[in-house]
Structure 1
Amino acid sequence: MNAGVRHALPSVGEIGVVRVELGVRSYDVWVGAGVRERLAEVVAGVGASRAVIVSARPAELVPDPGVPYRVIEARDGEENKTLATVSALCREFAEAGLGREDVVISCGGGTTTDTVGLAAALYHRGVSVIHLPTSLLAQVDASTGGKTAVNLPEGKNLVGAYWQPKAVLCDTDYLRTLPEREWRNGYGEIARCHFIGAGDLRGLSTAEQITASVRRKAQIVSADERDAGLRHLLNYGHTLGHALETETGFGLRHGEAVAVGTVFAGRLAGALGRIDQARVDEHLAVVRHYGLPWRLPANVDPDRLITLMGRDKKAATSPSGHLAFVLDGPVGAELADDVPESAVRACLAAMPHD
């Protein structure tokens, strides 16, 4: 890990709150040590009479929600992010007698918040959900914004729904035992935030980085909940990133793949004349600061990557065969939906490999 990265966690009392403004569906994201203890208060605000807690963490890490509840054990990991898992969860909800006015609580990493969120969106055509994200990746990005999804063999996150939580409690105490690779996984999303308007987060504490990243995402989601325009910015680095995850059988973790995708996005923007070499170099400098991978894995197939990028749920392919990427430019990041495949192929060929 780069010596410039500090896992600087806050003490009790250092609490940040970010509001996601969506009218009657607005909610707060709490960031800080001990914020999970607000769970019973949030559940009371929902008005639920019972809860189901889906947890990939030990039971003692989830506080009492203040109403009768059942705990369902879950497992983090892309291999568990499937329609079969969603079906099993919904059956457990039914067995627990969960009604439409009750609440589901997720506790785990980004794959858990994604899967539980989708199950909550589908069960009874939608029940309330509260997220207690326990990984840096989930706290920075996955738990906020209302996108829920699972994977298909054909690609990542191809089946999903928009379903906003009632609250997100990002307790930084959960991060104290996080493995080093999971820190990198989260830093990949923090690094990409540098290029979508969050500012330079490299000198901030972990809690400040989480809060700033969530604040930028909240601004974007509040303005464009369903990807009609501005929300495309959140795809920065993800088009190649998702393709790399699928192509490597998720040997690259999400944040690691997004980091490589971010460096690639900078190189592609430079090749298309959208940014100068200094800005291209800045992409690499930011990614390397966080100790993240930036080279393509050995033996990846460019043809396969291009096919996967065209299939990505956040991408689009024009009738002329051009690919869509979110790329940096004179006015900042924006969707470029006219990128020739030849340019993408040339940039892939020029990327260093491990």
Structure 2
Amino acid sequence: MQIKNAYRQIDVGLGERSYCVRVGAGVRHSLPELVAATGARKAVVVSARPEEWTPDPGIPFLALPARDGERHKTWDTVIELCRAFADFGLTRHDVVVSCGGGTTTDTVGLSAALFHRGIQVIHLPTSLLAQVDASIGGKTAVNLPEGKNLVGAYWQPRAVVCDTDYLGTLPDRERINGYGELARCHFIGVDGIHRLPLDEQITASVARKADIVMADERDTGLRHLLNYGHTLGHALETATDFRLRHGEAVAIGTVFAGRLAETLGRIGAARREEHRTVVAGYGLPTMLPADVDESRLIALMRLDKKATSGLGFVLDGTHGAELVTDVSEKAVADCLARMPRGQ
């Protein structure tokens, strides 16, 4: 990790697909430098933020509005974007810039992956959730009515620019929502992350994800760790029609992962309680919503990409977190039934 001009830089080394992630206040103003390095002659900037918060890429560009939120993370949005790229005359040597939360970086990233079979993309994540996780690692996807992130592709960005100035513009709920991914980091190799200042938490989360992605770009092994809390989390998002936001759902999923790990004899009661304590310390929810049906959650978890034979969860254990497959539905159902319910 390098520190230059008051920003931190984490390099994601993937050979010809390598790129940098910059973290710091005001770092969005380095966008023209990063765009120039791509060799692009024109750009499309897809932004969910006001014009004054959307930096000029330094070359001729088309600005397209975007709307953050899971309801807009759809195949129809991808088609609309790709048609706009075509109308503007983008070539495969040009660049697309996303500026918004994780749903925007996901949708724009998939559009870039598909247009001309792959066009360069730079992400400017503006939510805490997107800065610590969603914009990094090359996973792009949109949702189907049947489940979350079921249509996607791996497409690494040319750069990621995490300007912490954006965080001051977030509503309280959206800021707290971003803590969900930070809370789960405590259990996947960044012990004590919740005790650091926020900018250091962002950097630590990015660095941990970069290490994992460099070791397992295509999610065949170690990268499963990044899905800690996500098996139930994704199911909760869909089951509540996205009333629960991603970080909130992952937070509940992280608490559940601790309870399930204890049920399976992988950890003791103290470590299980640590899951709840870390999540609650961020002001995140720790209980299942009162109105979700357990059988519906299990049906949705069967669609999870880790559920190749039986249900799969990333769970804590004596030697740390790891993917556990063939978890019985009865064990999951019993654990869900015992979990406290909230509003």
TM-score (norm 2): 0.97
Q: Which position in structure 2 is the counterpart of 1:248?
A: 240
Distance 1:175 1:137 in 2: 10
1:340 and 2:332 are equivalent in the alignment: no
1:139 and 2:116 are equivalent in the alignment: no
1:68 and 2:82 are equivalent in the alignment: no
**Corresponding residue SS for 2:21:** strand
Distance 1:317 1:230 in 2: 16
Q: Which position in structure 1 is the counterpart of 2:307?
A: 316
Distance 2:169 2:158 in 1: 27
Q: Identify which of 262, 280, 284 aligns with 2:272.
A: 280
Q: Relative contact order (C-alpha < 8 Å, sep 6+): which is higher?
A: 1
**Corresponding residue SS for 2:196:** coil
Gaps of 5+ in 1: 1-11
Identity of aligned residues (%): 70
Distance 2:191 2:34 in 1: 31
Distance 1:86 1:41 in 2: 27
Q: Which position in structure 1 is the counterpart of 2:281?
A: 289
Distance 2:217 2:23 in 1: 22
Distance 1:310 1:329 in 2: 23
**Corresponding residue SS for 2:265:** coil
> CA contact under 8 A between 1:13 and 1:33: conserved in structure 2?
no
Q: Which position in structure 1 is the counterpart of 2:199?
A: 207
Report the Cα offset of residue 13 of structure 1: 5.1
Q: Deviations over 1:265-298 (max 9, x none)?
A: 0000001000111110100010000000010001
**Corresponding residue SS for 1:311:** coil
Q: Identify which of 245, 249, 256 aligns with 1:257.
A: 249
Report the Cα offset of residue 206 of structure 1: 1.2
> CA contact under 8 A between 1:287 and 1:293: conserved in structure 2?
yes
Q: Which position in structure 2 is the counterpart of 1:107?
A: 99
Distance 1:279 1:224 in 2: 27
Distance 2:328 2:304 in 1: 17
**Corresponding residue SS for 2:302:** helix
Q: Which position in structure 2 is the counterpart of 1:350?
A: 338
Question: Aligned runs of 1:81-160 on 2, under 5 Å?
Answer: 81-160=73-152
Distance 2:38 2:143 in 1: 30
**Corresponding residue SS for 2:340:** coil
Report the Cα offset of residue 64 of structure 1: 1.7
1:38 and 2:30 are equivalent in the alignment: yes
**Corresponding residue SS for 1:202:** helix
> CA contact under 8 A between 1:196 and 1:332: conserved in structure 2?
yes
**Consecutive aligned runs of 4 or more in structure 1 exceeding 4 Å deviation:** none
Write the letter of the residue equivalent to 2:322: E
Gaps of 5+ in 2: none
1:221 and 2:213 are equivalent in the alignment: yes
TM-score (norm 1): 0.94
Q: Which position in structure 1 is the counterpart of 2:39?
A: 47
Report the Cα offset of residue 80 of structure 1: 0.3
Write the letter of the residue equivalent to 1:27: Y
Distance 2:163 2:149 in 1: 26
Distance 1:210 1:264 in 2: 24
Alignment RMSD (CA, Å): 1.0
Distance 2:333 2:138 in 1: 33
Q: Deviations over 1:306-327 (max 9, x none)?
A: 01001023x2141xxx311000
Q: Deviations over 1:186-219 (max 9, x none)?
A: 1000000110002211221111010000100000
Write the letter of the residue equivalent to 1:212: A
Write the letter of the residue equivalent to 2:141: A
Write the letter of the residue equivalent to 2:9: V
> CA contact under 8 A between 1:35 and 1:171: conserved in structure 2?
yes
Report the Cα offset of residue 130 of structure 1: 0.1
